[in-house]
Amino acid sequence: MQNKGLQLPIQYLKGVGPKKSILLHKLGINSISDAIYYFPNHYEDRRNKKLIYEIQPGDFVNIQGKIVQVNEIIPRSGLKILEAIISDGTGFLRAKWFNQGYLRKILKIKTEIKVFGKIQLDFRGHSFEILNPDFEIVEGDINEKKAEILPIYGLTDGLSQKQLQGIIKSALEYSKTYLDDYLPEELIKKLKLPTLSEAIFNVHFPPTDIDIGDLNERNTPYHRRIVFDELFLLQLGIILTKNYRLNEKGISISGNGKLINEFIDKLPFKLTRAQKRVIDEILNDMRKPVPMNRLLQGDVGSGKTVVALIAMLAAVESGYQAALMAPTEILAEQHFFNITSLLRGLKVNTVIHTSEYDKYTHTISSGAADIVVGTHALIQEYVRFKNLGLVIIDEQHRFGVMQRYLLKKKGINPDTLVMTATPIPRTLALTIYGDLDYSIIDELPSGRKPIITEVIAPENKKIAYKMIEEEIKNGGQVYVVYPLIEESEVLDLKNATKGYEVLQKMFPQYSIGLIHGKMPAKQRDETMKAFRKGEIKILVSTTVIEVGVDVPNASLMIITNAERFGLAQLHQLRGRVGRGMRPSKCILIPYKLTEEAKLRLNAMVNFNDGFKIAEEDLNIRGPGELFGTKQSGMPDLKSANIIRDKEILEIARQEAELILRKDPHLKSFPLLRAKLEEFWKNKIDNFTIA
């Protein structure tokens, strides 16, 4: 088979051995294949050959000359310096190496040498020098031209750049026999792509006539071929996963609509056009005898919960149970509170399950519970459903693939609706959620006012305190949020507690509450109820209020250490105010501003639209961690960047659809099929090539 030779363990490559292989394993290089796909981070241009009389401080140069003097210098610091003075007949250059005594045996007078590095003036400002330069002893014809572009790789301690370059060169040489091109020949011609071996070799060791800027921006035909391959294999897998699902036998959920109509008639507000459109899309999916697999996305406050509840009522009306899984107890409790409030007067039994063996376990297994709201406790083995027909995952990027999979396994191919309040740009949705159908609520309920967002420097925080007082005097309520990135961060917990104590002293006339993830659920619930009723005027909180919490009278939010929050998280937090008729504000107080933090805060000030916020976040941080791609079940992208390469992504999607339309099982393309299976190995999202 094509890849047998490429899977040779790296330690058996000539010049590697057991010791170096241990270092290579740290870089993720375990085989020949890993080595040839371990691409450079950037490139150094060593074609800039200069004579010594031409050089200037700051130049990155390639100088060739004879060593005319070698000096060993030991300053008071005890640092050992080896200095070689080099002449090319036009001037002299000092090259210095620190604590590299072994070079004394290599660098000798009259040796012809090339040095590569950055020119600077010595500390006196009298002569040019180059510190710790790379070098090459010139043998044979000293006029031989060997200008080159050098690949620079990520390293680990104990492995030098030169060693890794040599290992990769050997791996490329070895791979020639085994590196078959798995893309169909007609596709390579159609898109005018280089061959795979040509692309891989030239990404590592580019031709000398190529533009260094294009190389470092990954904008060469060779880089584009590698990127296309990754995105093409990704899209093939996503489409096959979706096709597999469409061939699965599922349940058809199609009640008479009486319960849903009764619910809609009782709502104290009118559904938006966007909500109605999305409800139709979801109910149409649920009627089909194949499992629904739909993503519901919408901005903060767009009304996703009501849409999800209508889907749950459709399941209940057809004799099935519905389960909603949320990532935190407080969000599960909030969903339970909202759902039971909205369903008041209807014959629907809703329960909450957030801890082991609670009183509702039997209610769930007997089928007496129509709607079950819970956390990851729902996926525990002891939780059994009688007839689970609909699974809803809220804030789905907070769950791993296996957690979602285990909840679905509680029924027999139930319909699945995943929700996110973090809007996802189309480019990313195509990549991460390409196997899902997706619905977008792109309209906010009428009457929602934009939230004014301002940044206040810490030294001016008295302004924020004054705003708190004015807001409460005018009948509003206030959130004061402290950062808590992980619930185990005791230091941050102390910050929230300290802030609570400071505010108590500052505003003794008002009732102030404290809420955080370490509190017992009952105490947290009581505090939230008191805040909802208006009994608590200022709620000091960590990010446990990030999503789901709905207090219409809360009209001011102060976020301290705002630079420590991600942009999507800041937008989620801001969405806790502006939910009623009162004009609302969000005040951001940063303490340590990095350039990236400035970009995030500027985006918050300038944009209220969650989709625009998501695009800004994608531009600032890139796609890696943004929506939990590590947990999404997708293969890691080593070369492709879905922001930079969105045009290639679109082409890859189109070509993947075309080839699967002609050959749904890739039977005519055995090499492509084998590569696809290798690319998607160890993924559980029902990936298969039948």
3-state secondary structure 160-191: CHHHHHHHHHHHHHHHCCCCCCCCCHHHHHHC
Give residue 140's pLDDT band: very low, low, confident or very high (50, 70, 90): low
Is the pLDDT at 433 greater than 90? The verdict is no
Distance CA 545, CA 567 (A): 16
Distance CA 94, CA 402 (A): 60
| Level-2 CATH architecture, domain 258-441 | 3-Layer(aba) Sandwich (3.40)
Q: Residue 193's pLDDT is what?
A: 97
Distance CA 354, CA 335 (A): 12
Distance CA 115, CA 130 (A): 9
Is 475 exposed, middle or buried, given 0-12, 13-18 or 19+ CB atoms closer than 10 A?
exposed
DSSP state of 49: B
Q: Residue 1's pLDDT is what?
A: 37
What are the angstrom distances between the C-alpha of 425 and each of 573, 618, 633? 20, 8, 19
Q: Residue 528's pLDDT is what?
A: 84
Q: What is the mean pLDDT of the chain?
A: 85
* Residue 440: its H or E element: strand 437-441
Is the pLDDT at 487 greater than 60? The verdict is no
Contact 32, 144 (CB under 8 A): no
* Residue 45: its H or E element: strand 42-45
Determine how many CB atoms are found less than 10 A away from the CB of residue 267: 10
Q: Residue 134's pLDDT is what?
A: 85
- Same CATH fold assignment for domains 258-441 and 452-607: yes
Q: What percent of the chain has pLDDT over 90?
A: 48
Is the pLDDT at 635 greater than 80? The verdict is no
Q: Residue 204's pLDDT is what?
A: 96
Q: Where are the domains of the chain?
A: 5-44+153-217, 48-146, 258-441, 452-607
Q: Residue 48's pLDDT is what?
A: 74
pTM over 0.75: no
Is the pLDDT at 274 greater than 70? The verdict is yes
pLDDT digits (tens, 9 = 90+) for 569-596: 898 889 888 877 788 999 999 988 888 8
Q: What percent of the chain has pLDDT over 70?
A: 88
Give residue 40's pLDDT band: very low, low, confident or very high (50, 70, 90): very high
Give residue 401's pLDDT band: very low, low, confident or very high (50, 70, 90): low
Q: Residue 548's pLDDT is what?
A: 54
Q: What is the mean pLDDT of residues 97-111?
A: 90
Give residue 381's pLDDT band: very low, low, confident or very high (50, 70, 90): confident
Q: Residue 167's pLDDT is what?
A: 96
Contact 303, 264 (CB under 8 A): no
Contact 267, 306 (CB under 8 A): yes
Give residue 552's pLDDT band: very low, low, confident or very high (50, 70, 90): confident
Q: Residue 488's pLDDT is what?
A: 45
pLDDT digits (tens, 9 = 90+) for 443-473: 877 767 789 999 999 999 899 999 999 999 9
Secondary structure percentages of the chain, helix, strand, coil, to 5 = 40, 20, 40
Contact 203, 222 (CB under 8 A): yes
Contact 269, 305 (CB under 8 A): no
Helix (H, G, I), strand (E, B) or coil at 43: strand
Q: What is the mean pLDDT of residues 16-36?
A: 94
Q: Which residue has the tokens 């090339």?
A: 114
Lowest mean pLDDT among 277-291, 411-425, 531-545: 411-425
Is the pLDDT at 13 greater than 50? The verdict is yes
Determine how many CB atoms are found less than 10 A away from the CB of residue 185: 9
Q: Residue 409's pLDDT is what?
A: 85
* Residue 363: its H or E element: helix 361-366
pLDDT digits (tens, 9 = 90+) for 227-246: 999 999 989 988 887 787 77
596's CB contacts (< 8 A; 6+ apart) are 620, 621
pLDDT digits (tens, 9 = 90+) for 309-358: 999 999 999 999 999 998 888 788 888 988 999 999 999 999 999 876 56
Nearest Cα neighbor of 499 from 539, 554, 441 is 539
Lowest mean pLDDT among 6-15, 310-319, 484-493: 484-493
Q: Residue 656's pLDDT is what?
A: 95
Q: Residue 498's pLDDT is what?
A: 84
Determine how many CB atoms are found less than 10 A away from the CB of residue 58: 9
Distance CA 493, CA 499 (A): 10
Phi, psi of 35 (to 5 degrees): -65, -45
Determine how many CB atoms are found less than 10 A away from the CB of residue 490: 10
Which strands sit side by side in the sheet containing 388-393, from one edge to the other?
A: 350-353, 371-374, 321-325, 388-393, 415-420, 293-298, 437-441
Distance CA 420, CA 627 (A): 10
Q: Residue 248's pLDDT is what?
A: 78
Q: Give the residue with greater pLDDT, 278 vs 488.
A: 278
CATH of 48-146, one of 3.40.50.1220, 2.60.40.10, 3.40.50.620, 2.40.50.140: 2.40.50.140
Distance CA 564, CA 495 (A): 13
221's CB contacts (< 8 A; 6+ apart) are 192, 193, 194, 199
pLDDT digits (tens, 9 = 90+) for 161-204: 889 999 999 999 999 989 999 999 999 999 999 999 999 999 99
Is the pLDDT at 52 greater than 80? The verdict is yes
Which of 145-154, 159-168, 395-404, 679-688 is the most confident on average?
159-168
Q: Residue 689's pLDDT is what?
A: 60
Distance CA 87, CA 66 (A): 5
Nearest Cα neighbor of 493 from 537, 525, 564, 541 is 541
Q: Residue 143's pLDDT is what?
A: 41
575's CB contacts (< 8 A; 6+ apart) are 299, 300, 301, 421, 547
Superfamily name with CATH number, domain 452-607: P-loop containing nucleotide triphosphate hydrolases (3.40.50.300)
Is the pLDDT at 145 greater than 60? The verdict is no
Cα torsion at 248, 249, 251, 254 (round to 10°)? 90
